[in-house]
Copies of this chain bind each other. A is one copy, B any other.
Amino acid sequence: MLYADRLEDALARVGNPCLVGLDPHPDSLPEEFSAARSEGASRSEKARAIGDFCCTIVELAAGEVAAVKPQSAFFELFGADGAREWERVVACAKQAGLLVIGDVKRGDIDTTARAYARGLLEGVDALDRAHTCDAITINPYLGGDSIQPFLESCKKAEAGVYVLVRTSNKDSKLFQEHGSPLLYQRVADMVAQWGGELTGACGLSSVGAVVGATHPRELSELRARMPRTPLLLPGYGAQGAGAADIVGGFLAGGRGALVNSSRGILFAYKQPQYAGLHWKDAARQALTAMKTEIRAALKLA
């Protein structure tokens, strides 16, 4: 079954479009994972602490949301030890029935892109497939021929990609608003085109787009430019976007988009409203609050 349809099914089961981002900033982890930032800990121990933390979040998220989005950078921080933990976290999320969207933002020329796509989406053997991602984020700067190898892997492995279109950071305008039409509009048009041959039975494509929820005015415009493209909306919570800001990214019935929150859930225990709670209870309550807010904003029964 194409990724688009697998995602649609998973979303129908949980009844909400929330995506939990696994961004294990070592400095923000609860005390029981403080080995991640301890000068006395080896790199392997540091990496294990972030892996343990993420696997605990995965347990909290299982059954509650359709997918998690591990952020590669926080694993790569610990080199080969981090890579080992990345695989453990991905495998643990897949075993828990969650889809895994690897936030890796890769992009390179032909045969190189092919190696990234194969490693991240296909795996080199049966054992390796325990920790391939269901989808990954990719960067479009290099052009169409750099995207093709990822689309081929999407066909082979029933996987998905989310192409960076409009990112959630403050200075995303520097190049993304270059030219007329704006560069991000041009990229959006190409994403819609690339997605054509990977459209599932659900009517949506396996080729998605990353559009920051921090740009609410543009969301509806980009939704219209990419009518069959599943969107991944980062920026909710810690980056400043609220439930009202994300509505324009959705199709009727709350379909067609995932809303990501990372720090807002993982490190909820640091927020005043969750003071005194165990970090896991804080994370659980923050996730419940996010689900409630977003379902209300989308007018889901």
Contacts and interface: CB of A to CB of B under 8 A. Distances in A.
Interface residues of A, number: 63
A43 B107 contact: no
A175 B87 contact: no
B43 A125 contact: yes
Given A78-B124, A112-B73, A183-B178, A143 B119 contact: no
B119 A77 contact: yes
A76 B115 contact: yes
Nearest to A137: B108
A27 to B, nearest CB: 9
A171 B148 CA distance: 11
A169 B145 contact: yes
Given A112-B71, A119-B82, A186-B178, A139 B172 contact: no
A80 interface: yes
Given A87-B79, A146-B171, A176 B127 contact: no
Q: How many chain copies does the complex carry?
A: 2
A145 B106 CA distance: 18
Contacts of A293: none
A113 B175 CA distance: 17
A274 interface: no
A46 interface: yes
Which 10 residue pairs across A and B have the least CB separation, nearest first?
A179-B179, A83-B83, A143-B174, A143-B171, A77-B119, A145-B171, A73-B115, A80-B83, A109-B169, A80-B84
Interface of A: 23, 25, 42-43, 46, 71, 73-74, 76-80, 82-84, 86-87, 105-113, 115-116, 118-120, 124-125, 127-128, 131, 139-146, 164, 167-176, 178-180, 183, 186-187, 190
Given A143-B167, A143-B175, 10 more contacts: A73-B115, A77-B118, A82-B83, A140-B175, A142-B164, A142-B172, A144-B171, A145-B170, A146-B167, A178-B178
